[in-house]
């Protein structure tokens, strides 16, 4: 229903962004093609925790260069093994499948880094740092 679509108007109001989170954990109703085309982020973060997170169609949209050109990085907090197997064609392209995702912006705001820390215990050991990405 049109009145349920709050993300479309919000994306149009925001315009292109550097980093975006996948709405509704990257589920089937999370982000439509127009939202992806409008936001055009360099990095996507998926707050996933369930076997259905993320949905294959949502990943396809996040990676689609038909919707917007250029490289992009996709990070998820926890993609379950079954989802990794079922959606391997796309999940293999993700930068990270598991961990806390931290976006760091140095003074000036012209670029950003994405760090992934472990989430298996309280030590939060850094597993990955990627970037810099232009903001």
pLDDT tens digits, 86-117? 999 999 999 999 999 999 999 999 999 999 99
Is the whole-model pTM more than 0.85?
yes
d(CA 74, CA 19): 10
The number of domains in the chain is 1
Q: Give me the domain span that covers residue 43.
A: 2-134
Contact between residue 94 and residue 37 where contact means Cβ atoms under 8 Å apart: no
């Amino acid at each position: 229903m049109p009145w349920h679509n709050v993300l479309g108007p919000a994306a149009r109001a925001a315009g292109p962004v550097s980093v975006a989170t996948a709405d509704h954990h990257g589920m089937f109703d999370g982000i439509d093609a127009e939202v992806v085309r409008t936001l055009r982020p360099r990095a996507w973060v998926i707050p996933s925790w369930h076997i259905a997170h993320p949905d294959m169609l949502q990943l396809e949209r996040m990676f689609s260069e038909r919707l917007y050109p250029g490289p992009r990085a996709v990070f998820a907090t926890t993609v379950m093994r079954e989802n990794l197997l079922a959606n391997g064609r796309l999940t293999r392209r993700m930068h990270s499948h598991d961990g806390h995702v931290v976006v760091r912006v140095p003074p000036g705001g012209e670029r950003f880094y994405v760090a992934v820390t472990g989430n298996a215990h309280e030590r939060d050991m850094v597993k990955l740092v990627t970037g810099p990405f232009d903001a």
